[in-house]
Amino acid sequence: MEPFRIGVQTLSYIQPAVWIIECGELPENVSSDEVTSAIQEVLGRGERLDSVMQKSSNLRMASGKYAKNAKYLNTQALLRKYGPLVFALMLVVGGFYLRFFR
Protein backbone atom coordinates (compact mmCIF):
# COMPACT_ATOMS: atom_id res chain seq x y z
CA MET A 1 0.00 0.00 0.00
CA GLU A 2 1.36 3.41 -0.96
CA PRO A 3 1.30 6.39 1.36
CA PHE A 4 -1.61 8.78 0.89
CA ARG A 5 -1.05 12.14 -0.81
CA ILE A 6 -2.85 15.34 0.06
CA GLY A 7 -1.60 18.08 -2.19
CA VAL A 8 2.17 17.95 -1.88
CA GLN A 9 2.04 16.43 1.61
CA THR A 10 2.51 12.65 1.87
CA LEU A 11 0.73 10.87 4.70
CA SER A 12 1.79 7.61 6.24
CA TYR A 13 -0.65 4.75 6.74
CA ILE A 14 -2.05 5.92 10.08
CA GLN A 15 -2.06 9.66 9.37
CA PRO A 16 -5.37 9.62 7.41
CA ALA A 17 -7.07 8.32 10.55
CA VAL A 18 -5.47 11.15 12.54
CA TRP A 19 -6.54 13.57 9.80
CA ILE A 20 -10.13 12.34 10.12
CA ILE A 21 -10.06 12.77 13.89
CA GLU A 22 -8.60 16.29 13.66
CA CYS A 23 -10.60 17.59 10.69
CA GLY A 24 -13.72 15.49 10.98
CA GLU A 25 -13.66 14.50 7.31
CA LEU A 26 -11.69 12.48 4.77
CA PRO A 27 -9.13 14.19 2.56
CA GLU A 28 -10.40 14.64 -1.00
CA ASN A 29 -8.28 11.98 -2.70
CA VAL A 30 -8.53 9.30 0.03
CA SER A 31 -11.37 6.80 0.04
CA SER A 32 -12.85 5.30 3.17
CA ASP A 33 -11.76 1.86 1.96
CA GLU A 34 -8.14 3.01 1.91
CA VAL A 35 -8.44 4.36 5.44
CA THR A 36 -10.13 1.16 6.63
CA SER A 37 -7.43 -1.00 5.07
CA ALA A 38 -4.71 1.22 6.57
CA ILE A 39 -6.27 0.89 10.02
CA GLN A 40 -6.60 -2.88 9.57
CA GLU A 41 -2.92 -3.04 8.60
CA VAL A 42 -1.91 -1.12 11.72
CA LEU A 43 -4.05 -3.42 13.86
CA GLY A 44 -2.37 -6.41 12.18
CA ARG A 45 0.99 -4.96 13.12
CA GLY A 46 -0.22 -4.76 16.70
CA GLU A 47 -1.19 -8.43 16.60
CA ARG A 48 2.23 -9.32 15.22
CA LEU A 49 3.79 -7.24 17.98
CA ASP A 50 1.82 -9.21 20.56
CA SER A 51 3.07 -12.41 18.95
CA VAL A 52 6.66 -11.18 19.10
CA MET A 53 6.21 -10.21 22.76
CA GLN A 54 4.88 -13.70 23.56
CA LYS A 55 7.79 -15.33 21.76
CA SER A 56 10.20 -13.06 23.64
CA SER A 57 8.64 -14.06 26.95
CA ASN A 58 8.88 -17.75 26.05
CA LEU A 59 12.51 -17.29 25.00
CA ARG A 60 13.32 -15.55 28.30
CA MET A 61 11.81 -18.45 30.26
CA ALA A 62 13.63 -21.02 28.12
CA SER A 63 16.96 -19.22 28.56
CA GLY A 64 16.45 -19.22 32.34
CA LYS A 65 15.84 -22.97 32.28
CA TYR A 66 18.91 -23.41 30.08
CA ALA A 67 21.10 -21.43 32.50
CA LYS A 68 19.82 -23.46 35.46
CA ASN A 69 20.47 -26.75 33.65
CA ALA A 70 23.94 -25.58 32.57
CA LYS A 71 24.84 -24.73 36.16
CA TYR A 72 23.58 -28.13 37.35
CA LEU A 73 25.52 -29.99 34.65
CA ASN A 74 28.71 -28.05 35.42
CA THR A 75 28.38 -28.98 39.10
CA GLN A 76 27.85 -32.63 38.20
CA ALA A 77 30.90 -32.60 35.91
CA LEU A 78 33.00 -31.06 38.68
CA LEU A 79 31.89 -33.74 41.15
CA ARG A 80 32.60 -36.53 38.68
CA LYS A 81 36.03 -35.12 37.93
CA TYR A 82 37.27 -34.35 41.45
CA GLY A 83 34.93 -36.47 43.61
CA PRO A 84 37.02 -39.65 43.54
CA LEU A 85 40.20 -37.69 44.33
CA VAL A 86 38.56 -35.94 47.29
CA PHE A 87 37.19 -39.27 48.54
CA ALA A 88 40.64 -40.92 48.33
CA LEU A 89 42.27 -37.99 50.15
CA MET A 90 39.62 -38.19 52.88
CA LEU A 91 40.38 -41.90 53.31
CA VAL A 92 44.12 -41.18 53.61
CA VAL A 93 43.57 -38.34 56.11
CA GLY A 94 41.10 -40.50 58.06
CA GLY A 95 43.63 -43.35 58.12
CA PHE A 96 46.35 -41.06 59.44
CA TYR A 97 43.98 -39.71 62.07
CA LEU A 98 43.00 -43.17 63.25
CA ARG A 99 46.62 -44.38 63.22
CA PHE A 100 48.38 -41.46 64.88
CA PHE A 101 45.85 -39.40 66.83
CA ARG A 102 43.63 -41.94 68.42
Low-confidence residues in the chain, pLDDT < 70: 1-32, 34-35
**Cα separation of 82 and 76, whole Å?**
10
Q: Write down the pLDDT at residue 81.
A: 96
Q: Write down the pLDDT at residue 29.
A: 60
DSSP assignment letter at 102 = -
Cβ-in-10-Å burial (0-12, 13-18, 19+) of 39 comes to middle
pTM here is 0.47
